[in-house]
Structure formats: C-alpha cells, structure tokens
Amino acid sequence: MAHTEERTFVAIKPDAVIRGLTSTIIKRFEDKGYKIIGLKMLMVSPEQAAKHYEEHYGKPFYDRLIRYISSGPIVAMVLQGYNVIKGVRQLMGATDPAEAQVGTIRADFAQLKEYNSVHGSDSAESAEREISIYFNPEELCTEWKNMTELVTEKEDFI
C-alpha cells in the first residue's frame, strides 16, 4: 500500500489568536510532524467568510459564523503530511469542546462550541476549496530539503 502526502487547511480562529495561543497550537501540528507549507495572519474579508462557510448559507447560525470569523485576526495555514486531514481533526478534537477528548486542542483551549479556537478541513475536497480561498498557489512552499540533504551538499554555507 503506497502512502502519499496530502494537504489540509487550518485556521487558528480569532479567540485563540487574541488569547495568544497561536504558537502553542502551531507547535501541536509541528510536533506531530506535519509540514507548514503556507502560513499567514489576516483579517478575513466578508467575501472570504461567505466562501468559507457557503455550505451553511441559510442556516440559523450562518450570520454568527460570518461575524465571528471576521471579528479578529486568524492565522491561516496549509499543512502537508501523511493522513494530515484525519490527523489534524484528531488533534483538534470534537467541534464542541465539552465533548472533545482530553488533550486535544479544543478540549485544552476552548470553552464554547461557537468559539472553539481552531478550524480544519473535513475532507480533501474541502481542503482544496478552503486553501484556494486563503492562499494563491505561489504562496505555498513546496520545495523542501531536510537537514541531511542540506549538510551533505557541496556548497559552503559559511
């Protein structure tokens, strides 16, 4: 069975950014071994918010989602790794922090379902769509060398 890397979109939401949890949350993903290939802080525009939550349009909570995601800065990321979509969702925990497994991001840092600190794509299709909302292809770093490759190259870095 061949293993291939996949990509996912992650947003550290306004409540977590405002509370200074950005680096702690990023560390959880890096500790798991996922590569950050895109990263930026931004204010979500109304257009981005509408595209992000388009599947919820018309639902009673839609307007609250739009107001919340655009209420403060988010940190948008593209992560890459083996089974990264499923793995990120496990690290995040259940949408409702009261139901999230102990040790997950939402269980540790969020108190309310409406302000649950982090978003991650739920499928490959969602990941592709969400990545395109927040990143242009040229903003993603796809050329990686590991440290072994760097130190074995002939070039002198000193």
Hey, which residues are catalytic here? 119
Length of the chain in terms of residues written: 158
Phi, psi of 148 (to 5 degrees): -60, -45
E strands, the chain, are: 5-12, 35-42, 74-82, 118-120
Rounded distance between C-alpha atoms, residue 1 and residue 43, angstroms: 41
Residue where the block lists tokens 């947003």:
11
